[in-house]
Amino acid sequence: MQYRTNPRNGDRISALGLGCMRFPGPPGRPDPVRARELTARAVERGINYLDTAYLYPGNEACVGATLEELGLRDQVLLATKLPHGSVRARQDLDRIFDEQLRRLRTDHVDYYLVHNVTSPAQWERLCELGIEDWIARQRAAGRIRQMGFSYHGSAGDFPVVLDAYDWDFCQIQYNYAGETYQAGTAGLRAAAARGLAVFVMEPLLGGRLADRLPDRARRIIDAAATPELATPAAWGLSWVWDHPEVTMLLSGMNAPEQIDENAALAERALPGSLAPAQHEVIARVVEEFERTNRVPCTGCNYCMPCPQGINIPGCFSAYNASYAHGWFTGLSQYFTASAIRTSEPKLVSNCVRCGACARHCPQHIDIPARLEEVARRFQPGPVGWALRAWSHRG
Ligand code: SF4
Ligand code: SF4
């Protein structure tokens, strides 16, 4: 495993971290057996950073039980996140954090993040509630080692958030298709210049830069493949690691073979290891990707559940697939996502525009409006009437 150093405290962190949000299992109920298998394999392969969050349903408890049962707590750096929207008063900080420690079966968190910061005003509100003093007390008690934030706001606001506190680290969305999106390359460099460790999430855009890459982009990768860079995922992860400012990237691996593949890549993907010709390949892939990237959904599930039962990420994935891989492929995926062949189909046209989903979307997608586009693509005119009649039968 390749390790990179946290410039703040000298921690040696594996270049590949385990994002536990995508542990296998039904929503809210990660499978404990498979979580144990994945975690054991990850640590065996040298991964020493595990990331979870209060808001990932059932995830902290699963991570805590897994680490306790495997006896691995002291071998890993454990990260979790504060749901700042749930903090209404200073005592909420203690209540939430105590609950996190209980769930995680530990007495400290190595890396604690304010989760999903999208504007400087959110941090200012926490400061008014006394969070800076609270952090100082937790640090002094050894309950938090490093303090950071995960970010999904604009490029312009990012330096403002960086300068609003003496952060140890930050976590940004970063991949070759998003150099100017959210923090982007400018944000990566700004954080590193301030001496922060930078952790990267969504290096493969929720799989859209891996197996779901558009067909034409995939052909470009296949033509340039080498034994070391044999798959789209290998190209996407290596591109992130190519940046010396990146301390670690998180990948939501949900099979032991994925861990083996990514860990092997992490060993080789040193900063600056991609050749200029390989960067040109990626630039051509980006051009193709952008032609078909209709909805920037990463499949994070933050918007779920929808009270109408709509599978929002599944429907967006089908919509994008209809441009990346052809309309029939997208339609087939839409049929699966909307459970059309079951007795209780959940069509996008069932959306009542309640807005419950959109305020949780870190990509700031206007979900109800974009679902209307999905409806126009997959349920046009008579097809829509037939599907709606079918969905209301019985
Ligand atoms: S706006 Fe539509 S998709 Fe979003 S939660 Fe409400 S019904 Fe579901
Ligand atoms: S619509 Fe937004 S919140 Fe929902 S899965 Fe996609 S990116 Fe995540």
Residues 28-86: pLDDT tens digits? 789 999 999 999 999 999 999 999 999 988 999 999 999 999 999 999 999 999 999 99
Bigger pLDDT: 128 or 26? Answer: 128
Report d(CA 264, CA 121) in Å as an integer: 41
pTM over 0.75: yes
Confidence of residue 292 (pLDDT cuts 50, 70, 90): confident
Instruction: Tell me the pLDDT of the chain averaged across its residues.
Output: 92
How many angstroms is it from 46 CA to the middle of ligand 2? 31
The closest alpha carbon to 282, from 211, 323, 229, belongs to: 229
Strand partners, 144: 109
Report d(CA 280, CA 224) in Å as an integer: 10
Confidence of residue 130 (pLDDT cuts 50, 70, 90): very high
Strand partners, 13: 4
Indicate if ligand 2 lies below 6 Å from the C-beta of 313. yes
Which ligand 2 atom lies nearest to the CA of residue 313? 5
Using left for φ > 0, alpha for ψ between -120 and 50, and beta otherwise, residue 151 falls in beta
How many angstroms is it from 370 CA to the middle of ligand 1? 11
Which ligand 2 atom lies nearest to the CA of residue 302? 3
Res 329: pLDDT: 86
The domain segmentation of the chain, as residue ranges, is 3-290, 312-391
Res 394: pLDDT: 45
Ligand 2 pocket test, pick from 365, 366, 371, 373 with the greatest ligand atom count within 8 Å of Cβ, gives 365
Q: Which residues line ligand 1 (CB under 6 A)?
A: 306-308, 310, 312, 351-357, 367-368, 371
Strand partners, 117: 151
Report d(CA 56, CA 60) in Å as an integer: 7
How many angstroms is it from 368 CA to the middle of ligand 1? 6
C-beta separation of 251 from 16 below 8 A: yes
CATH superfamily to which 3-290 belongs: NADP-dependent oxidoreductase domain (3.20.20.100)
C-beta separation of 312 from 304 below 8 A: yes
DSSP 8-state assignment for residue 304: P
Bigger pLDDT: 323 or 383? Answer: 323
Strand partners, 77: 49
Indicate if ligand 2 lies below 6 Å from the C-beta of 367. yes
Indicate if ligand 2 lies below 6 Å from the C-beta of 303. yes
